Amino acid sequence: MKMAIIGFGAAAISLIATVAMADETGFTRIVDESGFIGTVTDREITSRLGTLIIGSDGKVTGSVPIGKVTGSWNWDEGYWCRTVKIGFLKQSEDCQSVEVSPTEVRFAAEKGTGKAVLFSFN
CATH of the domain at 37: 2.40.128
* CB-CB contact of 80 with 37 (8 Å): no
Closest by CA position to 42, among listed 57, 32, 29: 57
**Predicted confidence (pLDDT) per residue in 82-97, tens digit:** 999 999 999 999 999 9
> Which structural domain range is residue 65 located in?
2-121
How many domains does the structure of the chain reveal?
1
What is the C-alpha to C-alpha distance for residues 111 and 105, in angstroms, rounded to an integer?
A: 15
Which amino acid is it at 83? Answer: T
**Predicted confidence (pLDDT) per residue in 107-119, tens digit:** 999 999 999 999 9
pTM of this structure: 0.79
